Structure 1
Amino acid sequence: MLSLKLPRQLSINQVPKVFREQGILFGYRHPRSSAADCLLSVFQMTNETLNIWTHFLPAWYFLWKLLSFSYSLDIWSDTYTWPFLIYMLTCCIYPFTSSCAHTFSTMSTQARHLCYFFDYGALSMYSLGSAIAYSAYTFPEEWIDSTFHRCYVPLAVLNTVVSTGLSCYSRFSEIQQPRLSKTLRMLAFVYPYLFDSTPLFYRLYLCTGESCMESVIPIHYRHCVFAFLTGFIFASHLPERLAPGRFDYIGHSHQLFHVCGIMGTHFQMEAIFMDMNVRRDWLLAFSPLLSLSETVGSIGISIIINLTIIGVFSRALYSTPKSTRLLQGKALKAFSRVNHF
C-alpha cells in the first residue's frame, strides 16, 4: 500500500537547526529526502503538507482567472489591459513557486536555501506586478501624471531588486542570528508593500476626490485587512508559539500566513479589476497609458536581475569554508541514520 512507502517523519530534535520551526515539534521530513520522497510527502500529513497545498491550489485558481480574463478582454489590441494581465501572471507565479519551494526544501541544506531564494524572487515579482497594476488603475485622481506617478514603477523595480537581495541575504544569518534574519526578511517584504500601497492608502484615508467614494473602496479595505494579518501572523508565530506541539500539522502560523496572503491577493485582484473597468473612461482621458517598457520591460529587467541575484547567492552557498561544509555534511549524515526506509 502507498501508506507503507511514505517516508518516516521526525521530531524537532532529529533534524538540523536550519530545518526547525519555532513551536513545531513533530512532523518533520528527513533533511536529506530524495525528490521522490518530497513528492510523496505531498500526500502525507506532515508539518509542510498544508503549506504546499494552500499555495498550490490557489496558483491554479489564479491561472483559471487569468485565462478567463484573457478570453473576456481584448488583450491583443487593447494595451489598457496589459498591466492587469502582467499583474495576474505574477499572481500565478508566486504561489506556485512557494508550493515548489516547500515541496523540495528538505532535499538538503543547500536545496532548502535555493528553494526559498526562488520563493523570495517570485514574491518580489508579485510586488512589482501589484505596483504596475496600481500605477495603471488605482492611483488617486490628484496624483495622476505627477512626478511620483511617473517615478512609481521605476522605484518599484528598484524595490524588487532590494527585496530579493535582502531576503536572500537573510538566510545566511538564520542560525547564528535568527532574530536579525527574521527582521531583515520582514523588512524585505513589508517595505515594498508599503511603497506599492502608498497611492492606495492615500485614496482610502486622505483623498477628497471622486475616487474616494467609489464602490470598490470596501474591497480595497478587505485586501488591506488580510495584508495586515499576513504580516502579523508571519512575525508572531501564533498560535504554535503559545502551545508548542498542538498545531504541528494543522493551524500553525505559516499555514495561516499562506491563507491570509492568498485571500489578500484575491481581494486585491477583484479591486484592481473593478478599478480597471469602472475608471476606464476617466483614466483613458486623463492618465497616460503605461508604455511597453514600463510594463513588459520592467518585468523582463526585474526577472533578469532577480535571477542574477539568486545566482550570486546560490554560488555563495558553495563558497563557505571547506571545514564548515564538512561539519554540515557530518551532521546530515548523523541525522540520516535515524531514518530507515
Structure 2
Amino acid sequence: MAYRNLYLSQYLPGSFQQVADDVSNVGIKQYLYQNYVTGNGDNNNNQSGNSASSTVIGRLSCVTSCFQNLVKSKRKAINNEHDTDEGKMVNHEDYFHALKNSCDNVPQCCVEPYILKGYVLPQMPLRYYFKVLWIPNNELFNVWTHLVPCLFFISMLYQFNQSLNLFESWPVLIVTVSAILLTLCSSLAHLFHSRSSFQHCCWFMVDYFGITTFAYSSTVSHFFASSQLSYYNRIGWLNLLVFTLIACCGFLCMSFTQAGNRWQSVENARKMKLWSTVFGYLYGMLPIIHRQVNMAWNSYLINAENDHALFYHKLQFICMLLCPLFYASDLPQKLWPGKFDIFGHSHQIFHVFAALSCYFEIVAIHMDVTDINGPWNALKHQNDFPTFELFCTCALALIVYCIILAIYIARSIHADFIEEIPGCQCSDLNKNQQQKKVD
C-alpha cells in the first residue's frame, strides 16, 4: 500500500490528490461504489458549482488514469523485485548471488528479452567471470552447451588424424577445425561479455568471427567435397572467391550490429544477423540441394539408395533451420517470463541445435571424403580443383579482414561507452546526463 501512495503522489496532479488518497485507502472497487453507485462519497472538493455530469466524467477519468498507473506500478514491482540500490548490495561471494541480480542492474545491451534475473555482476575483476562456469546464472548453460561440443570436436579431430592424411583430405580438416573455433568463440563470448557494454560488443564480434569461419568452411566443403560434377563444372574453382566475398559481407553485417547503440534495437540487430547468415547459408547449401534433387529424380541408380552421407546432410539442414526459429522467437521464456532464466530458454536450445548441426556437418563431409563412391574422389581429379594452399590463402585473407574490421569497430565505438557504475543501468546514466544538461 505504501508504494501505491508514493507512486500516486508522484504521477497524479495535486488537484486529484484526494482521489488518489481515497483509492489507495479503500480500494478501487469500494471507491467507485461509494462515489458513483450510492452517492455517499466525500464531495467536499466538488462544491464549486459544476454540473453533476461533468463531476462524474471528471472523476471517472481520474480514477481510470489512476487505475492504469497502479497496474503499471504493480507489474514493475513484480518484474523488478530488487531495485538498483538493492542490486548494488549483492554479495558476489554468495553462491546464489546471480539469482538475486535483476536485469535492471546490468548494462542494457547485456539484457536478454524476458530473462528477468540470473545476471552476473558487471565491472568485476576478470577472474570473477570464470564463476559463470559453476554458479547459477543465465549464461551457465549457454557456455556449457558449446564448451562440451568443443571438447568433443577436438576428440573427433584427433581420431580423424589417426586414420586420414588431413592435409590431403582437407575438407574434413577445415570443417572440423572451424566447428571447434565456432564453439570455442561462442563459449568465451558468453563467459566474459557481461563485464561491460564495450566488452560485450568486443566479445560478440569474436563470436561472429567463429560463426563466419564455420559458415565459410562449411560452404567450401559443400562445393569442393560434396557437390556433383554437373554442379561443380558450372563455376569451378572461382566459387572459392565467391564464398570468400560472401563471408566478408556476412561478418561485416553481423559486426555492424555491435557498432554502438545509436540505431538498432534487439529486433533489428537480430534481423540483420539472421538475413546476413541465411543468404550465405542457402547459397552454400545449393550443392546439397542439387544433389538431393538429382538423387530423387534418378532414384533408379544403384548408388542413390546407398548415399548415407546425404542423410546426415539432411539432418544438418533440419537442425540449422531450427536454429533461427529459437534464436528469434524467444520461446519458451516469452510465454512465461522469469521461469526460464537459468535453464531452458531459447538461446540454450539454439546452442544445442547449432552444435548438432556442426556434428552432422562433420560426419557428412567425412563420409563424402572417405567413401570410395563419394563425390570427393571425382572432384579432386578435376584440372581446376583448388589446392589446400589456395584455400589457406583465401582463408588467411578472410581472417586478416575480420581482424582489421573488428579492431576498427572496437576503436570507433570505444568513445561511445561511458564508464559504467557497478549495478547501474545504461539508460539511468543517460537520463542523469540529460537531467544535468537541462539543469
> What root-mean-square deviation, in Å, do the aligned CA atoms of Structure 1 and Structure 2 show?
2.3
C-alpha displacement at 1:39, in angstroms? 0.4
C-alpha displacement at 1:151, in angstroms? 2.6
- Give the secondary-structure state (helix, strand or coil) at the position aligned to 1:329: coil
Comparing 265-274 with 294-303, which one deviates more in the overlay?
A: 294-303
C-alpha displacement at 1:110, in angstroms? 0.6
CA distance in 2, matches of 1:13, 1:126: 35
- Where in structure 2 are the equivalents of 1:36-51 lying within 5 Å? 36-51=127-142
1:244 to 324, 331, 337: 337
**What amino acid sits opposite 1:65 in the alignment?**
M
Post-superposition Cα deviations, 1:11-45, rounded to whole Å, max 9, x if no partner, equal: 11222321110111110111223211100221111
Q: 1:159 to 1:285 in 2, by over 3 A?
A: closer
Comparing 112-121 with 294-303, which one deviates more in the overlay?
A: 294-303
CA distance in 1, matches of 2:323, 2:212: 16
1:311 to 404, 407, 427: 407
TM-score, normalised on structure 1? 0.88
The answer as to whether partners of 1:170 and 1:184 remain within 8 angstroms in 2 is: yes
Q: 1:299 to 1:330 in 2, by over 3 A?
A: closer
Is 1:219 matched with 2:312? yes
The answer as to whether partners of 1:94 and 1:123 remain within 8 angstroms in 2 is: yes
Post-superposition Cα deviations, 1:194-223, rounded to whole Å, max 9, x if no partner, equal: 111111122223564667542222211111
From the CA coordinates, give the structure whose radius of gyration is larger.
Answer: 2
Is 1:120 matched with 2:208? yes
1:265 to 358, 362, 365: 358
- Where in structure 2 are the equivalents of 1:279-318 lying within 5 Å? 279=374, 280-285=376-381, 288-318=384-414
- Give the secondary-structure state (helix, strand or coil) at the position aligned to 1:272: helix
2:270 to 182, 189, 195: 182
**What amino acid sits opposite 2:107 in the alignment?**
P
Post-superposition Cα deviations, 1:250-293, rounded to whole Å, max 9, x if no partner, equal: 11011000000000111111111111122144334457542134
Comparing 281-290 with 167-176, which one deviates more in the overlay?
A: 281-290
The answer as to whether partners of 2:196 and 2:420 remain within 8 angstroms in 1 is: no
The answer as to whether partners of 2:114 and 2:337 remain within 8 angstroms in 1 is: yes
CA distance in 2, matches of 1:281, 1:237: 44
**Counterpart residue number, 2:187:** 99
CA distance in 1, matches of 2:248, 2:415: 22
**Counterpart residue number, 1:339:** none
The answer as to whether partners of 1:219 and 1:271 remain within 8 angstroms in 2 is: yes
- Ranked by relative contact order (alpha carbons within 8 Å, sequence separation 6 or more), the top structure is 1
Gaps of 5+ in 2: 1-91, 427-439
- Give the secondary-structure state (helix, strand or coil) at the position aligned to 1:129: helix
1:195 to 273, 276, 283: 283
**Counterpart residue number, 2:161:** 70
**Counterpart residue number, 1:60:** 151
**Counterpart residue number, 2:52:** none
TM-score, normalised on structure 2? 0.69
**Counterpart residue number, 2:326:** 233
**What amino acid sits opposite 1:313 in the alignment?**
I
CA distance in 2, matches of 1:310, 1:284: 35
Post-superposition Cα deviations, 1:204-251, rounded to whole Å, max 9, x if no partner, equal: 235646675422222111111100011111111111111111111111
Gaps of 5+ in 1: 337-341
**What amino acid sits opposite 1:126 in the alignment?**
F
Q: 1:34 to 1:4 in 2, by over 3 A?
A: closer
- Give the secondary-structure state (helix, strand or coil) at the position aligned to 1:177: coil
**What amino acid sits opposite 2:332 in the alignment?**
P
- Give the secondary-structure state (helix, strand or coil) at the position aligned to 2:308: coil
Is 1:8 matched with 2:97? yes
C-alpha displacement at 1:334, in angstroms? 3.5
Comparing 302-311 with 277-286, which one deviates more in the overlay?
A: 277-286
Q: 1:5 to 1:26 in 2, by over 3 A?
A: closer
**What amino acid sits opposite 1:201 in the alignment?**
I
**Counterpart residue number, 1:21:** 112
**How much identity, in percent, do the aligned residues show?**
21
- Give the secondary-structure state (helix, strand or coil) at the position aligned to 2:255: helix
**Counterpart residue number, 2:19:** none
